[in-house]
Amino acid sequence: MPPDQSAKSAEARLFQQHSRQFESNRFVYPVVSRRSQGVSVGVNLNPDKVCNFDCIYCQVDRRSDSETRFVETDQLLAELTSVLQAVTSGDLFQQLRFASTPPHLRRLNDIAFSGDGEPTTFRNFDEIIGQVADVRRKLVDDDVRMVLITNASMFHREHVVRGLHLLDENNGQIWAKLEAGTEEYFKLIDRTTIPFQRILDNITAAATIRPLVIQSLFMCVHGEPPPESEIDAFCQRLQEITSSGGQLEMIQVYTVARQPAESFVTPLTETQLQHIAEKVESTTGLQTAVFS
């Protein structure tokens, strides 16, 4: 295998290693992220594996019992401190799992609230955002982001609104999930009782205050990619958000990279992803990025 292909294969293997198990930690875990293009330190606020969505592509194993059911704040902050120090000192890359990380990916990109469920369902969401921000301020550079990876279902709750404002004050960024254009497809993919319109309204309201990144995972379902009419409807929803004053910084178009919840879910090809991204960009004028 040529050296450049070998390097790409090694990176691909790194990007597939998103285990939330790190040493004896229960809440904080480092990953090399394809979308962050660096190290992302994950903060899991849902160790009980409870989520208000049941996405067909989810990579959380909900068939096994969770070892930890409650977030212990002091333990979480201690783990965060230790992992951040390991990344910034370079000690992380002495471990076998991270030893093959190429130099350009050894930078700390963000602290990401992403775990085994929807992070904004955590009842003390605003408080933990503030406490993590304090640790970040003490240990890392200001350019290290705090990223919320979310399904946007809870943005209308007061404690979540407070948490989002704290993110704004600490170089925060919201990555909101939107991968459907119609209620029918939304129910097929995300399997939730929450109305699609609530998600659209919440994204629009949040995006009028600060720019959002939209994360859009597309896949084959029973061997079929999303129909063209669904991509058209998806583009229309994006246009409705921006025409209402919503700021969308980027649309991330990607596909499944690890074992999904349902065996009938398979990844799209890079050509299929590029087609979707080109249609989004040409129809909406929004910046898109493809992650295959």
Angle at 170 between CA 166 and CA 171, to 5 degrees: 125
Answer whether residue 2 shows pLDDT above 90. no
With 80 as the cut, is the pLDDT of residue 108 above it?
yes
Q: What is the pLDDT of residue 24?
A: 85
pLDDT, tens digit, 9 for 90 and up, residues 218-243? 999 999 999 999 999 999 999 999 99
Domain residues of the chain, as ranges? 1-177, 199-292
Q: What is the pLDDT of residues 141-187, one digit of tens each?
A: 999 999 999 999 999 999 999 999 999 999 999 999 999 999 999 99
Residue with tokens 């290693």: 17
Q: pTM to 2 decimals?
A: 0.89
Give the list of residues 6+ apart from residue 43 with CB closer than 8 angstroms, or none. 27, 28, 76, 80, 111, 112, 113, 114, 115, 119, 128, 132
Distance CA 100, CA 208 (A): 41
Q: What pLDDT was estimated at residue 61?
A: 74
